[in-house]
Chains A and B, each alone.
Chain A
Amino acid sequence: MGNDRDSVRACPNTARQGVTFFAVGSYIVRATMPTRRSARKGLLPKSSPPQKAGPTSQDGEGVPRDAGRDPDEQLLVETAQSDPANFDALYELHFERVYAFVASRVRNRATAEDVTSEVFHKALANLPSYEWRGVPFAAWLLRIAANAIVDHAKRAAREFPSPDDPPEMAVNLDLQASELRAIEYRAQLFQLVGQLPEVQKQVVRERFVEQRSIREIAQRLGKTEGAIKQLQLRAVQNLRARMEGGHG
């Protein structure tokens, strides 16, 4: 790659109306709320993060030091710091990102919820101590999440020691660029589910969250099994279109 270590580049193939991707160093960053102002959030590592939650620069790209500063988000953070009642906006903006990260590292949904809950409670409690200093809020949250995941694994190992079990998650908590991309992809996808037509949304939730069979869903929604399969297909096609085509 060229000498773009301090630059913020728009990825030509992924820039969409209202949804903007940026590549910041080895991090892919995107504004996840199409209806909001284009919030430029960078996932930048601190120079010496406690869990090494930073890139390894193995792809040859450098780590910009202050490219992620976003006045919009900084304002949101400062507003929440002065009155924690305003934490809502930050929660709305980052819930899917944190959940996607945690869910990718733990074994089951109950643990993912448990850890996600812990992350936001800690973030709320420690909000006064958060300082900008080039570390975007999203990166700060993910660092809390990385620590919470490790803590959880340690507690689980202590409470239910079982040497035969595989570890809860990989010990290595480096956030590789590819993993950050995967987190951002899922965070965006999870938010888009909320914008699906009601019945498609219902089918997606019944099928993927509740893990019900097509037959059960058909009974619950009073439709044929064929209709549910069609709705499932349409929902997934819609999501793909919105993820890849930017509309739909």
Chain B
Amino acid sequence: MAKRSLAMQLDEVVQAMLVSLRPRPEPAPDRDLASLTRVAQALRELPREEFRAALKSDLQRRTPMSEGTAASAGTGEAQARAVHYQRPGLTSITPYIIVRPAAQFMEFLKSAFDGIERMSMPTPSGSIMHAEVAIGNGAIEVSDGNEQYPTAPAAIHLYVDDPDATYARALRAGATSFYAPTDEHPSGDRWGAVKDPFGNHWYIAKPRGWTPGPEGLRSVQPYLHLREAHKMIPFLEASFGAEALGVHKSPEGAVLHGTMRIGNATLEIDEAHGEFQPMPCHLHVYVSDTDAVYAQALRAGASSIETPQDKPYGDRSAGVKDAWGNSWFIATYLGTK
């Protein structure tokens, strides 16, 4: 048997390593292989770039708070506890898409967007109570819903590295086109738009200067089309301590596009127009103090869906509905402290 190339030998070692198998013995191992294998083994624990960047920006944001709360918190321990409130794998904002049948929707996410199913909890009747699908460096939560939380498709801004290919795959997976990716979008990004068979909008875009996994940019961002969108900004600021990162308004004052940051994630808003009408949806927001945010949201005009309570899955959680009909699941992860 001819000696295989070093590239093939190394890949076999890597492949075996990734699935925890013993590689088959090489008949004529390259003498370089052992030292390359050592490097490859260490690379298995390479940290995610997105995690490194997210933790850094999280720490940066904590800085003024650490100073501000030092007197009241009294100890550093209390602050450490306060900042560790997100369920691992999720960011501050995750769209919670309730559509039926959720199982088929998950298949769509996998085939159209390379979604990776991270968890799926069925109900006794076989429908999906709760599931999580990772897309790029973001995630979408999925459920068949119930009476309290009814079906609500959403609009999602999806950042990808090849919008044309993703757009084509989405169509093959059953989506219909609003428009094919174009460089003419006002944002300057290459941008296309589709609607999936479940009613969700997907704005598939590649930002200018994009490199995969850029710091601070999530693959998945909820996009809210709103009437009187400008009123959403003070609501988010008052409820969640959100920050407006960039708001472009028409001369009449309508929000053409706005980016709002909550914690380590962002969502986008604009004034509903044309085909892009309001789609009241569900959003899952991790905050450091569910009770406080719940109270703030009610003061800012939201109505209560659910009062704060500890959930069996390890979150303290509450629900409110805003004046536009969006539901906000407010949560604090209790799992580690």
**A residues neighboring B (CB under 8 Å):** 84-85, 87-88, 91-92, 95-96, 99-100, 103-104, 109-114, 116-118, 120-122, 124-126, 128-129, 152, 155, 159, 185-186, 189-190, 193, 198, 202, 204-205, 207-209, 211, 214, 220, 222, 226, 229-230, 232-233, 236-237, 239-240, 243-244
A113 touches B88 (CB 8 A): yes
Q: Can you add 18 more A-B contacts, CB < 8 Å, to A88-B56, A118-B336? A: A87-B59, A87-B63, A91-B55, A95-B56, A110-B88, A120-B59, A122-B77, A122-B80, A125-B66, A125-B80, A185-B42, A189-B43, A190-B46, A207-B14, A220-B162, A222-B162, A226-B7, A232-B14
User: Quick check: is B213 within 8 A (CB to CB) of the other chain?
Assistant: yes
Q: Is the CB of A208 within 8 A of B46?
A: yes
Q: Does B48 contact A (CB under 8 A)?
A: yes
Q: Is the CB of A95 within 8 A of B52?
A: yes
Q: Is the CB of B43 within 8 A of A96?
A: no
Chain B residues engaging chain A, CB cutoff 8 angstroms: 6-8, 10-11, 14-15, 18, 32, 35-36, 38-40, 42-49, 51-52, 55-56, 58-60, 62-64, 66-67, 76-77, 79-80, 83-84, 88-89, 114, 161-162, 211-213, 314, 335-336
CA distance in complex: A193, B49 (Å): 10
Q: List 5 A-B contacts (CB under 8 A).
A: A95-B55, A99-B52, A117-B58, A118-B80, A190-B47
B76 & A129 in contact (Cβ 8 Å cutoff): yes
CB of A113 within 8 A of CB of B51, answer yes
What residues of chain A lie closer than 8 Å to B49, measured between beta carbons?
205, 209
Contacts of B42 in A (CB 8 A): 185-186, 189
**In the complex, chain A residues whose CB is within 8 Å of the CB of B212:** 202, 205
B residues within 8 A CB of A208?
A: 14, 18, 40, 43-44, 46
Q: Are A120 and B55 in contact (CB under 8 A)?
A: yes
Complex CA distance for A217 and B39, rounded to whole angstroms: 20
Expressed in whole angstroms, the Cα–Cα distance for A71 and B161 within the complex equals 44
Give CA–CA (A198, B209) in the complex, Å: 14
A205 to B84, CA, bound (A): 26
5 tightest A-B contacts by CB?
Answer: A125-B76, A233-B7, A103-B45, A229-B7, A125-B79
- B55 touching A232 by the CB < 8 A rule? no
A residues near B51, Cβ cutoff 8 Å = 113, 116
The answer to whether A229 and B8 touch (CB under 8 A), given A84-B66, A124-B59, A243-B39, is yes
Do the beta carbons of A230 and B7 come within 8 Å of each other?
yes
Cβ–Cβ < 8 Å partners of B336 in chain A: 114, 118, 152, 155
CB distance from A95 to the nearest CB of B (A): 6
Q: Are A121 and B14 in contact (CB under 8 A)?
A: no
Residue of B nearest to A80 (CB): B63
Cβ-defined contact, A103 with B47, below 8 A: yes
Query: Would B39 and A240 count as touching, CB distance under 8 A?
Result: yes
A110 & B89 in contact (Cβ 8 Å cutoff):
yes
Given contacts A110-B89, A214-B11, contact A121 B48 (CB under 8 A): no
Q: Do B88 and A114 have beta carbons less than 8 Å apart?
A: yes
Q: Kindly name the residue among B44, B45, B49, B64 whose own CB sees the greatest number of chain A CB atoms within 10 A.
A: B45
Knowing A198-B211, A232-B14, the reply to whether A240 touches B47 (Cβ < 8 A) is no
Chain A: minimal CB distance from B303 (Å)? 34
CA distance A1 to B83 in the complex (A): 47
Whether A232 contacts B211 in the complex (CB less than 8 A), given A104-B45, A118-B84, A205-B49, comes out as: no
On chain A, the residues within 8 Å of B59 by CB distance are 87-88, 91, 120-121, 124
Measured between C-beta atoms, what is the minimum distance from B260 to chain A in Å? 23
Smallest Cβ-Cβ distance to B19: which chain A residue: A211
A contact residues around B55 at 8 Å (CB):
91, 95, 113, 116-117, 120
Chain B residues lying within 8 Å of A84, measured Cβ to Cβ, are 63, 66-67
Given contacts A126-B76, A193-B43, contact A113 B62 (CB under 8 A): no
Are the C-beta atoms of B48 and A237 separated by less than 8 Å? no
For the complex, what is the distance from the CA of A124 to the CA of B62, rounded to whole Å? Answer: 9
Contacts of B213 in A (CB 8 A): 205
